[in-house]
Structure 1
Amino acid sequence: MYPFLLVGAGGAIGAMSRYGMGSLVGRLWPMSFPLATLLVNIIGSMLMGVLIGLLARFMPPQQAELRLFVAVGVLGGFTTFSSFSLDTIVLIERGALLQAGLYVLMSVVLCLIGLYLGLLMTRGVA
């Protein structure tokens, strides 16, 4: 139960942060381009890199709890793109370049198809 609470609490903070960032960026730079989402993805990915780098370097005793709260919870609620970026870099660093390329390609293409199919399933539904 405790791990779920860590992830849930962190996820709430991350989701509220994402919403706040989107609102702020929308007010400062109103445009049709999804700048807020792009910035959230970039910032979240950078923060994931900092967190994982620090955890790997210092290995604090509470590493599992920090990873759950910050990486899975806060950053996962802020942007799942940070997890996608971490998974991709881990594959690249392991030398699994083909797997990394397939993961990126499949993630982008299949997620776009999934969203489009979801839209198609709801169109015409009153």
Structure 2
Amino acid sequence: MIYITVGIFGIIGALIRYYLGVTINTWWVYSFPLGTLIINCLGALILGWFTYSITKSKCPEWFRLGFGVGLIGSFTTFSTFSVETLTLLNSGLIFYAFMYVLLSLLGGLFFSLLGYKISLHMRKGVGIKHAD
């Protein structure tokens, strides 16, 4: 059951990533890979929020794994980030490559933290205590 759920959620996450990437690339025509940066930061935000939202909840394991591993795992992409960084370096766009790595790492951490903070704020709003 869990394998099927992760697979189905993975298909959904990959399709969302593809659609969002195509949409961003229709208006962003520059060498900097903004689409992947936005997608990865958005995925970090959602996973940060989701991970801490389900703490001490009765979220079933199949949904937790399907959403976190399947949907968000296929939505975000480390391999594309790596290849795009190498492409920038091979094209002589060293500053873009440096900025891409820096923004991806710091952005991922920042948006994960933001997702966590949003989760804490939402829990306080509904009166759920958190173990921090």
Q: Identity across aligned pairs (percent)?
A: 36
d(CA) in 2 for partners of 1:16, 1:43: 15
**Matching residue of 2:76:** 79
Q: SS of the counterpart of 1:33?
A: coil
Q: Structure 1 residues 52, 24: CA separation in 2 closer, same or farther (over 3 Å shift)? A: same
TM-superposed deviation, 1:65: 1.5
> What stretches of structure 2 of length at least 5 have no aligned partner?
79-107, 113-132
**Matching residue of 2:22:** 23
TM-score in terms of structure 2 length:
0.56
d(CA) in 1 for partners of 2:14, 2:58: 26
TM-score in terms of structure 1 length:
0.59
d(CA) in 1 for partners of 2:31, 2:18: 17
Runs in 1 of length 4+ with deviation above 4 angstroms?
Answer: none
**Matching residue of 2:9:** 10
Question: Over the residues paired in the alignment, what is the CA RMSD in angstroms?
Answer: 2.2
**Matching residue of 1:99:** none
State the structure with bigger RCO (CA 8 A, min sep 6), 1 or 2.
2
CA contact (8 A) 2:36 2:77 kept: no
